[in-house]
Amino acid sequence: MHRTLSDYIVDLTQNSVEAGSSVVIVDLIEQGFYIKVYISDNGSGMDAEALARARDPFFTDGVKHEKRKVGLGISFLAQFIAQCDGKWDMTSEAGVGTSLYFEYYGKHPDAPPLGNLASAVVCCMGLPGSFDLKFSRSLDGDSYSVMRSEVIETFGDISDAETLIALREFVRLSENELIINKGTCKCQN
């Protein structure tokens, strides 16, 4: 199990990137006390059999990590959503991509805290590969977003520590602005 929502976002986004996607979209929506996350990609996708087995912690495709026999990312998500009475779903089509969605009540006693979202966004944007990623965040209707392609266009090398530090600061400031405008972030336990 991961400790924070931000950790889940990094883990699941990495799945999308490792699936060879050219475009990944991550939406974090906080409305009232409810938190919804949508992650979609145009990567390799899965056929119906692989999709069904993706929930099994003792299943992995054997391609992403040769010789490894477990794949825990989706199992962690399923367990966390079950423990806080949330909902989740994943749809996928081989060669087309995968869409994943989950939602839960942020004040549930077993809900994870938001965690360090700025760091999570930087981790997602800094994943290796030539893909675009749009991260959108909204809190009670107010929002901000950042695109990986724009960051690269503005700064060049996204693996450069200076770029990552500036991006982290940007997300922190954007996040602070949302919280100041809307009061306390409700998904922070």
Partner 1 sequence: MSKLTLADLKKLRDEKKKEMVKREEGKTTQIIIGMGTCGIAAGAKEVFDAFLDEIDAKGLTDVAVTQTGCMGKCHVEPTVEVFAPDMPPIVYRDVKTDIAKRIVNEHLIDRKIIADHIFDKPADILK
Does 159 bind partner 1 (CB under 8 A)? Our answer is yes
- Name the minimum Å distance from CB 77 to partner 1: 10
Q: How far apart are CA 75 and CA 9, in angstroms?
A: 14
- Name the minimum Å distance from CB 141 to partner 1: 10
Q: DSSP character for 158?
A: T
- Name the minimum Å distance from CB 144 to partner 1: 4
- Name the minimum Å distance from CB 15 to partner 1: 9
Does 18 bind partner 1 (CB under 8 A)? Our answer is yes
List the structure tokens of 159: 């693996």
Q: What is the DSSP string of 89-116?
A: EEEEETTTEEEEEEEEETTSTTPPP---
Does 144 bind partner 1 (CB under 8 A)? Our answer is yes
Does 142 bind partner 1 (CB under 8 A)? Our answer is yes
Q: Contact, 64 vs 17, CB < 8 A?
A: no
Does 143 bind partner 1 (CB under 8 A)? Our answer is yes
- Name the minimum Å distance from CB 39 to partner 1: 15
List the structure tokens of 124: 């997602």
Burial of 51 (0-12, 13-18, 19+ CB in 10 A): middle
Q: How far apart are CA 118 and CA 115, in angstroms?
A: 9
Stretch that binds partner 1, among 20-28, 43-51, 70-78, 90-98 (CB under 8 A): 70-78
Q: Which of 90, 122, 133, 187 binds partner 1 (CB under 8 A)?
A: 122
- 132: nearest Cα among 117, 153, 102: 153
- 98: nearest Cα among 167, 17, 35: 17
Does 165 bind partner 1 (CB under 8 A)? Our answer is yes
Q: Using CB under 8 A, list all residues that contact partner 1.
A: 1-2, 6-7, 10-11, 14, 18, 64-68, 71-73, 76, 115-116, 119-120, 122-123, 126-128, 142-144, 146, 150-151, 154-155, 157, 159-170, 173-174, 177-178
